[in-house]
Amino acid sequence: MEIVATGTDDVTASLDDGVLVVTLDRPEVRNALSLPLLEGLAAALDVASGSAEVRALVLTGARGAFCAGGDVGLMAAGRSIFGAADDPDGRATAQADLQRRTVVRLRELAKPTIAMIPGPAVGAGLALALACDVRYAASSAVLMTGFGRVGLAGDFGCSWLLHDLVGRAVARELLYSSAAVPADVALARGLVNGVHPDDELVEQTMRVARRFARVPAPAVAVMAATSDLVPALSFAEACDRDAEEHVRLTATPEHRALVQALVARR
């Protein structure tokens, strides 16, 4: 296992068997956002994007929580991690920049990403989970938008991600109600891909992550790009694109090696 530097104690990262495990680590506040945490996450995503050794990423939280979102204690004190209260334009610019370097970067990463949710995922923390390709939750985990409870509408792209994942009606219900959604209900509504007993979450998630990591990078990149293009393409256009990419990928050394190995096993 290789420890990956993030520049902060608020985020730890380690690389093992092609899987980069990134852990949000502020357990005293259920891994709520801080400026160092977001900078550390951005640094980890830089590594994930730039290193050929990273073939899949797992995002999780320390000690029984995923991420509580914004630090309510700071909000109550009228403070923000993004800048001074009397400089709203500066705060908005700083937040937009960090959102692009974290949740947008995570959503657009052309490698398999998994949110491993051991406990509460709230607000911007929920958005980070939704930005991953797939999500696996512990049976005791809860998901919640939470913004309405503090008089906010949402940030880190949470509204967009919810709408993209579960549709307009369910997204608005979750946003308006700020209701805590238990893991089994989240599974039924399509918010997570699977639910595991708390003591099996890491083992089951890492098993899937290692399987994802074995898919050659060129194929993964095409899968991700094709998925993102679905809303903009007709079915016929998608089929045409599939043909072009299929032919291109058959010429890659990764494809040839895997096919030859499969034939040899048979």
198-243 residue pLDDT tens: 999 999 999 999 999 999 999 999 999 999 999 999 999 999 999 9
Residue 105 has pLDDT above 90, yes or no: yes
Domain containing residue 239: 217-265
Q: What are phi and psi of 57, to 5 degrees?
A: -130, 135
- 20 forms beta bridges with 15, 57
Mean pLDDT of 30-53: 97
From the CB of residue 53, how many other CB atoms can be counted at a distance below 10 Å?
A: 12
**Percent of the chain topping pLDDT 70:** 100
- Examine the domain organization and report whether 66 and 181 are in the same domain: yes
Q: According to the model, what pLDDT value does residue 264 have?
A: 94
Q: According to the model, what pLDDT value does residue 103 have?
A: 97
**Percent of the chain topping pLDDT 90:** 94
Q: Where are the alpha helices (DSSP H) in the chain?
A: 35-50, 72-76, 88-99, 105-108, 124-131, 158-166, 168-177, 183-188, 201-213, 217-229, 235-250, 253-265
Residue 54 has pLDDT above 90, yes or no: yes
- 59 forms beta bridges with 22, 115
- Examine the domain organization and report whether 181 and 228 are in the same domain: no
Q: According to the model, what pLDDT value does residue 74 have?
A: 83
Mean pLDDT of 158-177: 97
Selected residue with higher pLDDT from 74 and 182: 182
- Examine the domain organization and report whether 204 and 228 are in the same domain: no
Q: Which pairs with CB-CB distance under 8 Å and at least 24 residues apart come from 92-97?
A: 95/155
Mean pLDDT of 163-181: 97
State the burial class of residue 52 (Cβ atoms within 10 Å of its Cβ: 0-12, 13-18, 19+): exposed
Lowest mean pLDDT of 75-84, 136-145, 223-232, name the range: 75-84
Q: According to the model, what pLDDT value does residue 71 have?
A: 87
Q: Where a domain ends, among 185, 213, 241?
A: 213
Which pTM value belongs to this model?
0.96
- Taking each continuous run of H as one helix and of E as one strand, the counts in the chain are 12, 10
DSSP character at residue 102: I
- Decide: 60 and 66 in contact? Cβ < 8 Å: yes
Q: According to the model, what pLDDT value does residue 84 have?
A: 84
| Cα 43-49-50 angle, rounded to 5 deg | 90
Residue 28 has pLDDT above 90, yes or no: yes
Mean pLDDT of 66-85: 88
- Examine the domain organization and report whether 223 and 111 are in the same domain: no
- Examine the domain organization and report whether 197 and 88 are in the same domain: yes
Number of domains present in the structure of the chain: 2
From the CB of residue 241, how many other CB atoms can be counted at a distance below 10 Å?
A: 15
- Examine the domain organization and report whether 234 and 125 are in the same domain: no
Q: According to the model, what pLDDT value does residue 29 have?
A: 95
**Confidence band, pLDDT 50/70/90 cuts, at residue 151:** very high
- 181 forms beta bridges with 143
